[in-house]
Homo-oligomer: A and B are copies of this chain.
């Protein structure tokens, strides 16, 4: 048991808009749920208590859900203020996450522990400092380093590919298909996605199988 609550923000209504070229809205919702399930499984496997912070009511089988439709940073900061223990914030679009990678994050010393995400984001963090707050809008990693400095909190950084790669764009699906192992990659494969290689470069392909949209 790790004495850290892990907040997992989730948008189940209009998730992953940058995947709209390859997945319809219903599909994106299903896929987002599969990614969330991957993340929650890992959180529970390491013995942390997950709390889903959802924009809309949601049933995720036994996991606590707080509904808050305010902007992401506002909602997360409210949860952090309420908490009397250490908190982690782990994004729900990290289906490559493993228990080993999450343990490295949760067990690392430091008032603030940050995991660098591609495109300048902060895919996961731990805070043990009451004055720390999050700010997820654009380039959050540097902002979080700055906020930590401003409140006098020590910072540790976790260097992890599995925490670093979030799924935003079609190219990220290639990454998931190549390296994933869980509900989200199963969902992709069940819906006809695969990678092919041309000139050694993996590219995303979708076969004409039974899904809602059969091609793109």
Using a CB–CB distance below 8 Å, which chain A residues touch chain B? Answer: 18, 98, 100-101, 104, 116, 118-120, 137-139, 141, 159-165, 171, 174-175, 178-179, 195, 197, 200-202
Contacts and interface: CB of A to CB of B under 8 A. Distances in A.
10 contacts: A18-B201, A100-B159, A118-B165, A118-B175, A119-B202, A137-B200, A138-B200, A138-B202, A141-B178, A164-B164
Contacts of A197: 138-139
A198 to B, nearest CB: 10
Interface-central residue, A138, A160, A178, by most chain B CB under 10 Å: A178
Contacts of A139: 178, 197, 202
Contacts of A201: 18, 119
A169 to B, nearest CB: 9
Nearest to A164: B161
Going nearest first, the 10 A-B pairs with the smallest beta carbon separation are A161-B164, A120-B178, A138-B200, A138-B197, A161-B161, A159-B160, A159-B162, A159-B161, A101-B159, A119-B202
A170 B205 CA distance: 21
Given A197-B139, A200-B138, A202-B139, A119 B174 contact: yes
Given A161-B164, A202-B139, A178 B100 contact: no
A18 B203 CA distance: 14
